[in-house]
Structure formats: C-alpha cells, structure tokens
Structure 1
Amino acid sequence: MTEPELVTQIHPLAQPALIVLAGATGDLGHRIAQHLLQRGARVRALVRPGNTKPAVETLRQQGATIVEVDFNDVGALTYACVDAACVVSAVSGLRDVIVDLQTRLLDAAVAAGVPRFIPSDYSIDFTKLPTGSNRNLDLRREFGQRLDGAPIAATSILNGMFMDLLTEQAPMVLFGVRRVLYWGSADQPLDFTTIANTAAFTAAAALDATTPRYLRVAGEVATVRGLQAAATTVTGRRFGRLRAGSLWLLKLMIQATRRLAPAPDEVFPPWQGMQYLHNMFTGAPKLAPLDNARYPEIRWTPLREVLATVP
C-alpha cells in the first residue's frame, strides 16, 4: 500500500458540505442553489411530491439531488435533513408557510442534528419595527422567536428591498413620466440589493460555519435623490421627484386599501407593498452595520445597472 493510500484510509478525504435547501424552485431559492453548486457544495433540494416546475429538472442537470418530501411530515423532513451542514429556507407564503412549515423544517433539522439553519427572511431589518407595521415581517419575527429558542445556530440574511422590484412590483422609478415617486423625505437613506446578490451572499453564508445571528447587506444605499440621479444617468433624460405625501398620509392610504381590498390570502396584496415602503421611508429598519465585505469575491450590483435594463 502506498503512503498516499494509507493517509487516505486514516484520514478520509472530506466530502463537500451538504446543504439542504427548501424553496429551491422559487426565483431566489433557485439562484441560491446555483451559487451553492458553483461553490462546490452538495445540494439536496426539497420539493413537494409531483413538482413539475422546470427549475426541478434544471437543478437536477446541474448536479443537485432532488428529494420529494411531504412538508407536513416532520419524520420525512428529518430523514431528508440527515448529514446536512446547514438547512437553508427560501420558501415564500403566509403563516402556514413562514411560521408553520418552517417550524416543521426547524424541528426536523434539530432532530437530524443539523448544526445551522438559515430562515427565509431576506428583508429590511424587521427586528427594529413595531409589531403590526408589516404583516409579512411580523410572521418572520414570530418564526425568529421560535428559532431563537431552538438548539441550533441560526443566521438571518437581511438585505433591504430587492432592487429588481424597482422596475416591476414596486415602481418607485416611473420611467413614463420621468419621476421618482416617494413619501416623506427625499433624503432618507434606503437599502437595495439585487436578488442575485442576495442569493450569492446566502450561499456563501450557508458554507460559513462562523456566521452570527444576523448578517446585513445592501448592494447600494441610496436616497430618492440618488435614485433620481441614477435614472437620469442611465437614460440620458432628466428625472424629477414626485412626492406623494407624508408618511402619515401613506399610513392612512394603507388602512383604507386594506379595508377596501383586504385580500388576506394573497402574499403580496397592494397594501403589503405599501407597508414595506412606509417602513423603509421611516428609516427605522435601516440596515447597519453592513456585512458586504464578509465575502470579498461578491461584486455588488449598483442601482444604475438594474435601471439600465428597462427598455
């Protein structure tokens, strides 16, 4: 027996870390899986039985192990979590998902002896917000309390508003009229991060055994004036500002919209997005200190690059 063979027998070559990922067929989760694979991790993606989304086959072809599992069955989830270095959640939904499903996933991770858990937070700093100011973030706070009481190391990724939404569901930048829409002060610093950067950072954190309870990142911190300047630069046409009113008025609008169109079963009804903007413009959930430099290989996408993608 040669010396290298003997050494290998005495000290078996360490396998790449195994990360169990829930929510891998969503946009963010799919990107997290891809970044984990790029970093050499083994990925075990948990999907519901019969899931036929194209992302499932894509992940399988890229090297992820696809495991169909009943998310209501803690025993099945526990078996699916065996040998994982970290369980990462990127699920999306209301109480039945953010609190109930994630609690079962947490119980399974603990039962399987998984050392670390990353919950599906990916938001502004809800730890600084009063209860009742944002329904979806209240659910994350509630689950976070359960997570803090569990015998497992936890890390929440807080990343501000997804920058991608500025040109989609949260159109603060109004290209048609060349205005930046806002409430309150045009000088309030706001945190923005792309979905891609959030996924890359989450993947790095999942493979980092030394992460603290919270990590905060922002691809760019900008005021409304900064958004105005970025839009002007990328389009070559001057953008102005459109102040819709005070934060007090926005709060009244949220209450009225929620009363007229409650949509309690929708994850992102119109009033939910308004709550998020109200939170941001108060300045209360501002992310600080930022942990952008923790993984220096990540290049943070600036606002102007996202705005430049609008036709």
Structure 2
Amino acid sequence: MQKKVIFTLLCFLFLNKAQAGFSSVEPAPNGGLPTEQPLSDLTPAALSYEQAQQLEAAAEKNDSQALEQLRHAAEAGDAEAQNGMGLYDYSQRKYADALSWYNKAAAQGNAHAEANLGVLYTYGLGVAQNYAQALSWYRKAAEQGEARAQTSLGDRYISGQGVAQDFAQAAVWYGKAAQQGDAYAQNGLGALYAGGRGVAQNFSRAASWYCKSAVQGNVRAQSGLGDLYARGQGVAQDYAKASYWLCKAARKGYAPAEAVIQQYSRSGLIAAQCADTSAGQQMDCPGK
C-alpha cells in the first residue's frame, strides 16, 4: 500500500478525532530538562503534523472505511499500515493490540514502530514496564534516524532509566533529533547548553535552540528563552522580548513561566499581567 495512501487514511482517522490525541499529547512542564519520567516520548512516532495537514483534504472515506482499508493493508503485511493500526489502537487505549501491531511492523525494521514499542515498554502500556527493553527499541529506531526515538534516547540518558546517566550522550542524541526539527530535542539541547551539562555552557547556543523550539510552541523553550532575555544571557537583555516569550508560555498555563513573570514584575521590569496585544506579535529568533 502506498505510503501516501496510508498517510491519508491516518490523518483522516486521527485529525478528525481530536479526542484520540496521539498527535496532541503535551509533555508535563518541568522547567527544562526531563526529570524522573521524561514525557517527550508519549507522543508516538507517526507522520508529521504538517504531512497530515497536507493530506487531510485528500481523505474522502468515512472513518469505518478508512480504518478497514488500513486494517486490510496491515493484515497483508504492510509495515506502515501495521504501525498505523498500532497508532489507532494506542489512541483508543487498546495498548495490548497496539503492541501486537507494532511488533509486526518492527519485525520488518519499521523505525516508527520500533520507537512506539519503546513508548509502551517505558510506561508499561500493554506490556510489563521494562526500561531495558524500551532503551533497546529506542536505540534501534534512533540508529535509523527516527527523530522522536533519538529524543527519547536522550531522555533516557538524562533520567538514567535503563542506562547509566550520561548528559554527554543525551546531548549527542538530542542534537541528532534537533537537527531534524524535533521541538522536544531542541528544548532539551537548549537546557543542556544553559546548564552546562554534557556540553560546555553556552548561553548563545541555548538561546538559539530554545528559540527553534519556542517558535514551534514548546512552552518549556518559550519560558527558557524568556528567562535568558530577562537575564541578558546569550542575548542582549530585553525585557520586552522576555515578556513576549514568557507570556506565550504563561498563557498555556505553564507555571514556571508565570513564576518568572511574577519575579520580575516585583521589580517593575515586566508587567505582572500579560498584555493581550502581544498575542499576535511575531518575534524573530536571536541572530536574525
């Protein structure tokens, strides 16, 4: 079954079912680097949101027809369709069924399915929790260049789940995913540069990576970038830009951003209340 057709079926099934949520899961805020349980990998590896948007208009089947076509292709042995069925079952919280489909696709070397198996093993969904197995699947996918798996592998090196904690290795894998545009990895890499963990501390690089992630809507990165502007670290101190980025995160309920706003508002440097006018503004990244 052609990949474009599978993309079309998947986007129709999922984008028209927001409650399914696999493409809209947000990581819990923690102020930057993952702690205890990294959550960037809760969103299964699949087609990008942009790909799905482009193909959504092409889907003309109803839900049952689209699902039947996808199932037929999966049962015929198409790895992309098998991963797609796994995504569908995951979205319906049928984790054991998702596990079965992912295993079929992963047996054919499908990197998305390998990454998704890592998610199930990490959180014990449909299978006993096993960090070593999760790490193994993430690595298989990451070595094929799967960006979300690379990010999740970086998360494991930070949390020490299934592997010895190693910030330098985290930076390596975050870097690979960040270069592919993964917002979670870009934020993680920014946090490593800001904290000087696994890499030499470099606030300019931190600001650059935070901004790449922030423009994609990552609240941690928006908060981190805003804080750098407020402190003048890696960028020229600019309270207007600090307020802009902090308010973007605060409007989404990100508590650390709200705390930074209150901290600077007590000195009169940033308004305690985010102005509505900044919501529609566009702000360039550092260096542009």
Q: Which has the larger radius of gyration?
A: 1
Give the structure, 1 or 2, with the largest relative contact order (CA under 8 Å, sep 6 or more).
1
Q: Which structure carries more strand by proportion?
A: 1
Same fold, TM exceeding 0.5? no
The alignment's TM-score, normalised by the length of structure 1, stands at 0.29
The alignment's TM-score, normalised by the length of structure 2, stands at 0.30
